[in-house]
Chains A and B, each alone.
Chain A
Amino acid sequence: MTDILLNALFAGLLLAVLCGPLGALVTWQRMAYYGDTLAHSALLGLALGLALQVNLQYSVLITCLLIASILFALQWWRDIALDSLLGILSHSSLALGLVCLSFLDGQQLDLNAFLFGDLLAIVRDDLISLSIICALVIALLIRYWPALVAITAHAELAEIEGLPVKRLRLLLMLMVAATVAVAMKIVGVLLITAMLIIPASAAGRFARSPEQAAALAMLCGAIAVISGLAGAWYWDTPAGPSIVLGAGGLFVLGQLAPSYRRRRN
């Protein structure tokens, strides 16, 4: 039994580490809707994986990366309003995923596990692939962090100062896609964006630099994971939603606390 709990804890903490800095960047760039679109397309990836009978984790990952690339390409297509496009793609892919799954006659499929996560069902194999993706994304984040922060603060200035803004944006989108793909098993399709946005938003008020914000967001995510798992363990609540609820609680607490910035005035 403790094995299950330890696996879940490890997976949750890995996700918190990943979502801290990435979530901060996503929040600052107002890309929440984009995270939703990717999350919903993860379900489509799941349906594809089941239909083609390939490894589900990889089919979800590849679908997410593909959708991210398509969205990136569409961004530079002039005559389009990106937010409405995202809205259309987001819900169409969710609907398409659900319809496809219904055709697949899911005898071994528990849809709830994918919509809301099934953290306590995480096994050693999941942990290995999660660790690999986590290590890769963290390495990329460390390497490109200053540049990613610079394009977030002001993209045009960064471009004039010589940063490859488009490539950095693509990198960020692909990293979010990879995170969404691994997070599906943990918090589920419908709650992935929450793990990106809520810890980062809760932490933002207390940080004095982007790095502090990322670190605090990690910490906030970790506390949410631990409290959510505790809830799941002691009161038998669903783990994914409990974690998101934990993060939401931290956010509310943070709003009540006096902010570092306001106190200065």
Chain B
Amino acid sequence: MNNSPLLALNQISLKHHQQSLLDDVSLSLSARQIMTIIGPNGAGKSTLVKIALGLVKPDSGTVFRQANLRIGYMPQRLSLNPLMPLSVERFLAMANTRNIDTALERTGISHLRKRPLHDISGGETQRVLLSRALLSEPDLLVLDEPAQGVDINGQTELYELINQLRDSLGCAVLMVSHDLHWVMAQTDTVICLNQHICCHGHPEHVSNDPAYLSLFGRRHAEAVALYQHDHDHQHDIHGDVVCEHHHHD
């Protein structure tokens, strides 16, 4: 495996109307790593993702992306004008036409290919967006709240699908998520963001961090810790602690 990071953000800061959106945020993502950004509303999660993608320029700090890095991006939602007629196939063909079959098979929605985008459910729409992200055969999958607007069962399926995809494609994943079960069970690194990075590291480590507890509240943290306890018996992935240094200001 290549040791140089796929993506590295260095001391990113961004202000809007004199108000700080992001303050001195650094992160680094290596191949096949799953990194999840959590944090309250308005913490700057989506903004950080957009900076990583190059859609937004930070006021200061640097963004490094590996040369020729193929990125697949799944935006938070598709807000298509109701008057704009588009089929699933046509929407995907905007990215490229070569891999549509494979991408639809991978996300399990081959049967929706000819359907109008206005005709399919929220969960199906998210899968269409995910399919489009897969078309470039990405080295890095960037997902901004992928399960938004999806019912509980659909959410579990979607997260499982993302996990499978990571394994079969061998890509790294950078994701914004509110689903702490997913975060605790499947993520290599959690970044707890509230304008600045409150704490980061392995999920188990983060869930005991005082900064995390003050941000999400103790009751919530306990619920997650309980879940984690359950989980320890099934998997052994929490054994090797990848706990990096952490700081909170």
Contact = CB atoms under 8 A, between A and B. Distances in A.
A156 B119 contact: no
Contact of A210 (B17, B86, B95): B86
Given A209-B90, A261-B119, A264-B119, A157 B95 contact: yes
Interface stretch (B31-39, B70-78, B104-112, B236-244): B70-78
Sort chain A's interface into a size bin: 20 to 34
Contacts of A204: 83-85
A163 B53 CA distance: 14
A94 interface: no
A257 to B, nearest CB: 15
A139 B99 CA distance: 30
Contacts of A24: 84
Contacts of A212: 85
Contacts of A200: 83
A153 B116 CA distance: 13
Interface of B: 16-17, 50, 53-55, 71, 73, 75, 78, 80-81, 83-87, 90-91, 94-96, 116, 118-119, 132, 136
B75 A156 contact: yes
A-B pairs, 8 with minimum CB distance? A204-B83, A150-B94, A28-B84, A28-B81, A207-B85, A160-B73, A161-B95, A208-B85
A78 interface: yes
A261 B94 contact: no
A153 B85 contact: no
A227 interface: no
A160 B85 contact: no
15 contacts: A27-B81, A28-B84, A78-B16, A146-B94, A150-B94, A152-B84, A153-B86, A154-B75, A159-B55, A160-B54, A161-B96, A200-B83, A204-B85, A209-B87, A210-B86
Interface in A21-35: 24, 27-30
A169 interface: no
Contacts of A29: 81
A201 interface: yes
A34 to B, nearest CB: 15
Nearest to B96: A161
A157 to B, nearest CB: 6
Nearest to A27: B83
A153 B17 contact: no
Contacts of A201: 83
